[in-house]
Amino acid sequence: MHQNKYNDKKLFLWIIPFVNVINYYLTYSTFSPFWKLFATFFIDTLQGYIAWWIVRVIILWLDKKISFESNLIKRIIIQLILTLFAGSLSIILLTEFTNWLATSKPVPLSFYTKDMPIISIWFFVLNGIYIGMHFYQKWKQTEEIIKEERKIKKEGFKVSSTKKEIVVPFNEIYGFYIDGDYSVMVSKDSKKHFLDFSLDKVEKTLIETSFFRLNRQFIIHRQLIIGFEKGDDGKINVLLKDNGCLPTNIAVSRTRAPKFKIWFAPI
């Protein structure tokens, strides 16, 4: 149903029985015979798994509807209310049903006054674990992106080629351009590599002294640029070596022209 981004199944496989042990210790001063205690513990643990799964489905559903990043307070409040209500209701209904099967009577009032307040606290703890997991995953993703960007800047630009990924050294790249909905990298051997990144993201990973964003459509390596000529209204036309993939003349706007001149011929 959902991608398991939390990697939580094995964790709660062990947590729920452990929580039940704590609940038994906090709730009961005396224990029943072993067989009855074991049966009760098994049923309570099974109920715990069902309630956790319901809470988990709600959280994964909310991940698609309201992200933490878009509205943190709203997301936390809605998640707490929905999971507490659904989780508690599932425990109550399952307990009532199990007790009715065993005794044909409703559960004692003490279950609502003593057991349910403790169980409700655990639902808050459960939410805290999932919220912590979410932000831990975000932190890990950010660290991976930073690590990858540093690696790219150090070694070259990573591209996918058929069934493998290759790193093209920066001095082997002529430039990048937009082709419809895709960003394309052109290498020295005139090969084109279609990228999964926007040109804005590509620009952030490049060495600024070697590459220049001429306009919205083109980023060119210094080695390909021959020079430039004046255009109309303060614009310039950047002249490129004939390479078979990129145009030999690219217009640069009046606002970007001064920056290009400084970059191309630094003092």
User: What residue segments make up the domains of the chain, in order of their start?
Assistant: 9-151, 157-264
Considering only residues 35 and 127, tell me which one the structure prediction assigns the higher pLDDT. Answer: 127
- What are the start-end ranges of the H helices in the chain? 9-27, 34-65, 72-103, 109-110, 116-155, 199-204, 257-264
End-to-end CA distance of the chain: 60
Neighbours of 94 (CB within 10 A): 17
Residue 253, token pair as written in the block: 């706007």
Among the listed residues 37, 39, 13, the one whose alpha carbon sits nearest the alpha carbon of residue 27: 37
Q: If you average pLDDT over each of 99-113, 184-198, 247-261, which comes out highest?
A: 247-261
Phi, psi values for residue 165, rounded to 5°: -110, 135
DSSP string, 84-132: HHHHHHHHHHHHHHHHHHHHSSPPPHHIIIIIHHHHHHHHHHHHHHHHH
CB burial of 112-137 (b: ≥16 within 10 Å; e: otherwise) equals: eeebeeebeebbeebbeebbebbeee
Segment 41-70 shows an average pLDDT of: 90
Neighbours of 44 (CB within 10 A): 21
- What pLDDT is stored for residue 30 in this prediction? 60
Question: CB–CB of 12/54 below 8 Å?
Answer: no
pLDDT, averaged across the chain: 85
* Strands in 169-217 per DSSP E: 173-179, 182-187, 192-195, 211-213
Segment 66-88 shows an average pLDDT of: 93
Name every residue whose Cβ is closer than 8 Å to that of residue 195 and which is 6 or more positions away in sequence.
159, 176, 182, 183, 184, 185, 202
Superfamily of domain 157-264: LytTr DNA-binding domain (2.40.50.1020)
Confidence check: pLDDT of 2 > 50:
no
